[in-house]
Chains A and B, each alone.
Chain A
Amino acid sequence: MFIFTKMTQIPVKINNKNPRLASYILSQYGGPDGELGASLRYLSQRFAQTEKSGIALLTDIGTEELGHLEMIGSIVTQLTKGEGAKSFDRYGVGDYYIDHANGVYPASASGVPFSAAYLQSKADPIADIMEDMAAEQKARATYDNILRMCDDPDVTNIIRYLREREVVHFQRFGELLDMLQSKIK
């Protein structure tokens, strides 16, 4: 089960407003390599893991990704808090405003709604972990793209942190893969 804690992994405190940057960062909320897909992928795949280490790692990383989803939603909210239709339009994201105003909606930066087609659950521990390692690299690459667009230090610090977590997750999944493969031999 899950217990909500009234805090984020690192504090989210964004002082400037920028609806366009918010719409880019939203991709890590509901985009193809975002945190919603990551958490659903791991939390679903764990049911078919055979080793305790695999069940634990997918549960624990899936839970951490849910926390990251919350951080992304918080960044998007703070970047758009109090901004109206005209501001969204000036920042070039009037179309987002028409559909969702200041709401956080799980979609990609290009506006495609979240889809479970972004992930798989194959009941094959090795196939699943290999997907997960690729997913971590794609999430890391998306954070790199966001960093190229972002010039707000409040946001950059958090994005760098989240990017670093993807690197750690990749490392842990790699160790799990080695463990599973050595059990087969």
Chain B
Amino acid sequence: MENNRQISAQQLMQKVSEAAFYVTDLKLYLDTHPDDARALRMFGEASRNAKACFDAFEKRYYPLFATSADCDSDWEWLVGTWPSQKMA
């Protein structure tokens, strides 16, 4: 059970990183092509998709942004795989 959950955290993180990367790459392109209508449309879509992926991951696993950390009982920000660690 624990194992399955971990595997899908990895799979979902793969989707999150792909979605975030698409935004990053389009952003650089738009910095030097600010009037490219097609790229602007693509950015809008990429940006909405990335937000949805972040939300889905944070809802199921752990906060990626400190502003999403739950602070009702304990400090949830500590939970999750930090960049020095590898996802189990």
Contacts and interface: CB of A to CB of B under 8 A. Distances in A.
Contact of A53 (B10, B13, B31, B62): B31
B33 interface: yes
A6 B17 contact: no
Interface in B55-76: 62-66
A182 interface: no
Contact of B62 (A5, A6, A13, A176): A6
A61 interface: yes
Contacts of A85: none
A172 B31 contact: yes
Which 4 pairs from chain A and chain B are nearest by CB? A175-B32, A57-B31, A56-B31, A13-B86
Interface residues of B, number: 29
Given A6-B81, A7-B64, A168 B25 contact: yes
B17 A77 contact: no
Interface residues of A, number: 30
Interface stretch (A23-31, A66-74, A88-96, A109-117): A66-74
Nearest to B27: A60
A62 to B, nearest CB: 11
A6 B9 CA distance: 14
Given A6-B65, A71-B83, 6 more contacts: A6-B82, A9-B24, A10-B21, A53-B32, A60-B24, A169-B28
Given A14-B86, A53-B32, A73-B83, A7 B25 contact: no
B14 interface: yes
